[in-house]
């Protein structure tokens, strides 16, 4: 006889009864069986992702609109801002670290600009600088949008 | 006599060398072109014009407005520090008229409410990035509980004699201070008499600097790649650093072994602009690295959309009198709608085989040092003829085995006028000029690849996918996975499949 406390009640089990013991054995085995099924599912999922890699170029299954280029022409849009005096400075688009320049030209601050820049597709953010103003811009819908409004909330 | 005085004044202004623009009245209503009026946009605009607005906001609450749709509002004026809430002008050369503005107190509470005026001199040696020097208080007005200005009240303060009509830059600081209560100052139409000398392109709004410009082209020497050449100003490189790699298969319109080494070229274009942002020239530095073919292929490129007449000369190409190469006086290929440059007519004459089959694709064969070429394309820069950077779009192509009409372009790039249209749709090609499907096979595969980096190419007869292990996932995921497949990252390449120079 085993006595234990569960769900707020004292329960007594007669371990000499074979029917009760069989039920107990099945209940004890259940987590093992479930765990085994789970493992099978995980292994199947892993196989699915590794088995599908194509190894012959001619057998590639590619969408008909797939762009094979690793660079793309990105729209670069600058929203001009009216100024009290004419301000002409160098406008530059570079890597966030600033070590690679993607685009450089002169720009009058009160003018809008729309042009295209060739960027590797792995580039997700750029730094845009004008004079000594600098902003980090994240590409959105293959566009770089820049304006001269300060990010500062104080000065 | 009046005319003479006016002329002398204009001359003096011209010699001074800068436009005399008065600082605008801070009315809280202005916003940047292309945006719309809002508290955030309006205060952003004024800050971008170098107004300092510390712990200060713009409000639209009708009961608070003094004029128009927006007015300024200080913090709760229960702090006597002059830096607790303030308006600071851009750098100005002060005039002589009084400082004026409208104001009131937002609610009838507070022990003291005070406006303090100070001026700040420009100090180039100041440690602060803002280069603000000594602050001098010069006026104030105080209100006590029971006599707070709860309705619109105009105030006027004389500019101190020490800075009136000064040739030096100053800022005027207007501080909103007080003690007790939680009422705020509401402020509008702040007028400070002065000539605006701040530079909004400066991160700290410093006074407009004297720019060194040796060639007087309008681009500061510090930014000018050619500071002593007024005809050139900027270099725009594609790719931005290093070289890009072009790799071709040359059996078009049938498919080949997909080792993409039938012709391998690395190159970098420098698009040189003048100070008016017009293209002066394109300088191309390129190397022919490998020929994994038996065909005697040519190579050229089209500048899509650019009329050949925009080009004045081409130098550095290397052709050997192939009958199919016909050039105009400006060096572009004749008979083309858009500008085409034939760089070479036979790859084997640029990079001769040192022995064995092909060049630099089989490690068992002798190595040949890649052949370097420098091409310069000069453009017409006269007004009305000059083109902009955005007009430049390179469309490189291989010309198969001396057959001019047999061009192999990158997938998605249009053929030139001289392409033999009867070949489209033959073999495995599925080019369709009507739908704009160019140089893709029936199962959408390319005959050429371009990468914005210098990368190694497969050895002869090695399938590209054997060498670049993430390429297939990139292509089949429609570009969403491993867009960096060409980088030399862990498990991205099988170097045993790639050709390496000895």
Global ipTM: 0.83
Note the pLDDT of residue A66: 96
Nearest-angstrom CA–CA distance, B198 and B194: 11
Contact criterion met (CB < 8 Å) for A106 and B239: no
In this predicted model, what pLDDT tens digit does every residue of B450-466 receive, in sequence order? 999 999 999 999 999 99
Q: Is B265 helix (H, G, I), strand (E, B) or coil?
A: strand
Question: Are A79 and A140 contained in the same domain?
Answer: yes
User: What's the domain count of chain A?
Assistant: 2
Question: Are A82 and A128 contained in the same domain?
Answer: yes
Contact criterion met (CB < 8 Å) for A149 and B478: no
B28-51: string of b/e by CB count within 10 Å (b at 16+)?
bbbbbeebebeeeebbbbbbbbbb
Q: Which domain holds residue A84?
A: 71-147
A154 part of a folded domain: no
Which residues pair with residue B342 across a beta bridge? B300
Q: Are strands B56-59 and B52-54 parallel, antiparallel or unpaired?
A: unpaired
Residue of B nearest to A55 (CA): B465
* pLDDT surpassing 70 at residue B14: no
Whether B263 contacts B297, CB under 8 Å? yes
Nearest-angstrom CA–CA distance, B407 and B396: 10
Looking at A12-26, B107-121, B323-337, B389-403, which range is the least confident one?
A12-26
A26 part of a folded domain: yes
Residues of B in contact with A116 (CB under 8 A): 390
In order, the DSSP letters of B392-403 are --EEEEEEGGG-
Whether B131 contacts B206, CB under 8 Å? yes
Q: Which of residues 360-399 of B touch A (CB under 8 A)?
A: 388-390, 393
CA A124 to centroid of chain Cα atoms: 11
In this predicted model, what pLDDT tens digit does every residue of B296-347 receive, in sequence order? 999 999 999 999 999 999 999 999 989 999 999 999 999 999 999 999 999 9
Q: Which of B25, B201, B224, B431 to mutate to test the interface with A (most CBs of A within 10 A)?
A: B201
Q: Which of B45, B88, B269, B452 to mutate to test the interface with A (most CBs of A within 10 A)?
A: B452
Question: Are A30 and A81 contained in the same domain?
Answer: no
Q: Is B254 helix (H, G, I), strand (E, B) or coil?
A: coil
Nearest-angstrom CA–CA distance, B219 and B277: 11
Compute the CA torsion angle B152, B158, B160, B164 (nearest 10 deg): 120
Q: Which of residues 2-61 of A touch B (CB under 8 A)?
A: 52-58, 60-61
In this predicted model, what pLDDT tens digit does every residue of B66-112 receive, in sequence order? 999 999 999 999 999 999 999 999 999 999 999 999 999 999 999 99
Nearest-angstrom CA–CA distance, B398 and B408: 5
Nearest-angstrom CA–CA distance, B453 and B242: 7
In this predicted model, what pLDDT tens digit does every residue of B114-160 receive, in sequence order? 999 999 999 999 999 999 999 999 999 999 999 999 999 999 999 99
Note the pLDDT of residue B33: 85
* B458's tokens: 């497969």
A155 part of a folded domain: no
Whether A35 contacts A49, CB under 8 Å? no
Q: Are strands A143-147 and A71-79 parallel, antiparallel or unpaired?
A: parallel
Q: Is B365 helix (H, G, I), strand (E, B) or coil?
A: coil
Question: Are A140 and A79 contained in the same domain?
Answer: yes
Question: Are A75 and A44 contained in the same domain?
Answer: no
Long-range contacts of A132-138 (CB under 8 A, 24+ apart): A132/B201, A132/B202, A132/B203, A132/B204, A133/B201, A133/B202, A133/B203, A134/B203, A136/A96
| CA pseudo-torsion sign B218, B221, B223, B225 | positive
Note the pLDDT of residue A52: 73
Q: How many alpha carbons lie under 13 Å from residue B330 in its C-beta half-sphere?
A: 18
- Band of residue A27 on the pLDDT scale cut at 50, 70, 90: very low
In this predicted model, what pLDDT tens digit does every residue of B223-264 receive, in sequence order? 999 999 999 999 999 999 999 999 999 999 999 999 999 999
Residues of B in contact with A83 (CB under 8 A): 49, 200
Note the pLDDT of residue A51: 57
Q: Give me the domains of chain B, ranges plus CATH numbers.
A: 19-196 (2.60.120.260), 234-461 (no CATH)
Q: How many alpha carbons lie under 13 Å from residue B4 in its C-beta half-sphere?
A: 1
Q: State how far residue B21 is from chain A, nearest Cα, in angstroms.
A: 6
Question: Are A42 and A106 contained in the same domain?
Answer: no
Question: Are A81 and A143 contained in the same domain?
Answer: yes
The region that residue B286 occupies, defined by phi over 0 for left and psi between -120 and 50 for alpha, beta otherwise, is beta
In this predicted model, what pLDDT tens digit does every residue of B174-228 receive, in sequence order? 999 999 999 999 999 999 999 999 999 999 999 988 889 999 999 999 999 999 9
- Edge-to-edge strands of the sheet including A143-147? A113-120, A71-79, A143-147
A138 part of a folded domain: yes
Question: Are A76 and A143 contained in the same domain?
Answer: yes
* A50's tokens: 């590794």
Question: Are A25 and A85 contained in the same domain?
Answer: no
The strand ranges marked E within B71-191 are: 71-76, 86-88, 92-94, 99-105, 112-122, 132-144, 153-157, 170-179, 184-191
Contact criterion met (CB < 8 Å) for B220 and A90: yes
Question: Looking at residues B362-391, what average pLDDT do you find?
Answer: 96
In this predicted model, what pLDDT tens digit does every residue of A53-112 receive, in sequence order? 899 999 999 999 999 999 999 999 999 999 998 899 999 999 999 999 999 999 999 999
Residue B470 CB coordination number (10 Å): 20
Residue of B nearest to A135 (CA): B203
A16 part of a folded domain: yes
Q: Which of residues 109-138 of A touch B (CB under 8 A)?
A: 109-110, 112, 115-116, 118, 120-122, 130-134
A127 part of a folded domain: yes
Residue B70 CB coordination number (10 Å): 23
Residue B499 DSSP code: -
A103 part of a folded domain: yes
Q: Which of residues 155-194 of B touch A (CB under 8 A)?
A: none
Question: Are A27 and A80 contained in the same domain?
Answer: no
Question: Are A117 and A87 contained in the same domain?
Answer: yes
* pLDDT surpassing 50 at residue B271: yes
- Band of residue A155 on the pLDDT scale cut at 50, 70, 90: low
| Cα angle B401, B402, B406; round to 5 | 75
Q: Which of residues 313-332 of B touch A (CB under 8 A)?
A: none
Contact criterion met (CB < 8 Å) for A100 and B241: yes
Question: Are A31 and A75 contained in the same domain?
Answer: no
| Cα angle B448, B451, B452; round to 5 | 145
């Amino acid at each position: 006889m085993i006595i234990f406390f569960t769900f707020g009640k004292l329960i007594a089990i007669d371990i000499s009864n074979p029917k009760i013991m069989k039920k107990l054995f099945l209940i004890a085995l259940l987590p093992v069986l479930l765990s085994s099924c789970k493992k099978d599912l995980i292994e199947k999922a892993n196989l699915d992702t590794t088995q599908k890699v194509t190894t012959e170029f001619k057998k590639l299954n590619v969408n008909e609109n797939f762009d094979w280029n690793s660079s793309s022409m990105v729209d670069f849009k600058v929203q001009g801002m009216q100024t009290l005096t004419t301000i002409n400075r160098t406008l530059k688009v570079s890597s966030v670290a600033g070590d690679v320049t993607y685009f450089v030209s002169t720009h009058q601050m009160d003018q809008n600009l729309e042009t295209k820049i060739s960027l590797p597709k792995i580039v997700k953010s750029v730094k845009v600088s004008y004079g000594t103003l600098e902003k980090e811009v994240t590409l959105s819908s293959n566009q770089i949008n820049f304006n001269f409004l300060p990010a500062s909330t104080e000065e | 006599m009046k005319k003479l005085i006016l002329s002398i004044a204009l001359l003096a202004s011209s010699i001074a060398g800068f436009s005399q623009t008065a600082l605008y009245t801070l009315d809280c209503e202005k916003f940047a072109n292309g945006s719309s009026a809002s508290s955030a946009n309006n205060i952003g605009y004024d800050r971008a014009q170098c107004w300092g607005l510390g712990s200060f906001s713009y409000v639209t609450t009708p009961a608070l407005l003094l004029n128009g749709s927006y007015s300024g509002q200080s913090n709760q004026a229960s702090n006597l520090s002059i830096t607790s809430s303030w308006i600071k002008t851009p750098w100005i050369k002060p005039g002589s008229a009084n400082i004026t503005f409208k104001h009131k107190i937002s609610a009838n509470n507070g022990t003291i409410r005070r406006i303090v005026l100070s001026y700040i001199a420009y100090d180039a040696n100041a440690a602060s990035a803002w280069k603000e020097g000594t602050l001098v208080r010069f006026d104030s007005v105080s209100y006590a509980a029971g006599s707070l200005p709860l309705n619109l009240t105009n105030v006027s303060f004389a500019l101190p004699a020490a800075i009136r009509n000064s040739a030096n830059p100053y800022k005027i600081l207007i501080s909103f201070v007080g003690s007790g209560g939680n009422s705020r100052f509401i402020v509008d139409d702040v007028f400070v008499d002065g000539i605006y000398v701040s530079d909004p392109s400066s991160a700290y709004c410093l006074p407009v600097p004297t720019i060194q410009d040796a060639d007087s082209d309008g681009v500061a020497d510090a930014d000018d790649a050619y500071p002593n050449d007024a005809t050139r100003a900027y270099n725009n490189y594609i790719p931005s650093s290093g070289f890009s790699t072009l790799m071709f298969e040359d059996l078009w319109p049938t498919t080949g072994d997909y080792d993409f080494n039938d012709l391998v070229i690395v190159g970098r274009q420098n698009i040189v602009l003048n100070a008016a942002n017009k293209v002066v020239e394109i300088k191309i530095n390129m190397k022919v690295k490998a020929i994994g073919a038996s065909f005697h292929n040519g190579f050229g490129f089209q500048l899509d959309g650019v009329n050949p007449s925009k080009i004045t000369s081409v130098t550095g190409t290397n052709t050997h009198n192939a009958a199919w190469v016909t050039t105009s006086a400006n060096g572009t290929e004749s008979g083309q709608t858009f500008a085409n440059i034939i760089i070479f007519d036979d790859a084997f004459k640029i990079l001769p085989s040192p022995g064995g089959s092909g060049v630099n694709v089989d490690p068992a064969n002798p190595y040949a040092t890649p052949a370097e070429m420098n091409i310069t394309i000069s453009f017409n820069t006269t007004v009305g003829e000059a083109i902009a950077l955005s007009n430049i779009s390179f469309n490189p192509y291989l010309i198969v085995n001396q057959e001019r009409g047999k061009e192999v372009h990158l997938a998605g790039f249009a053929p030139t006028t001289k392409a033999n249209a009867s070949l489209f749709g033959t073999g495995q090609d599925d080019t369709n000029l009507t739908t704009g499907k160019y140089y893709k096979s029936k199962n959408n595969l390319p005959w050429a690849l371009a990468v914005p980096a210098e990368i190694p190419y497969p050895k002869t007869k090695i399938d590209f996918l054997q060498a670049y292990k993430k390429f297939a996932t990139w292509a089949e995921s429609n570009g969403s996975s491993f867009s960096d497949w060409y980088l030399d990252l862990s498990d991205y390449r099988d170097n045993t499949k790639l050709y390496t120079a000895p």
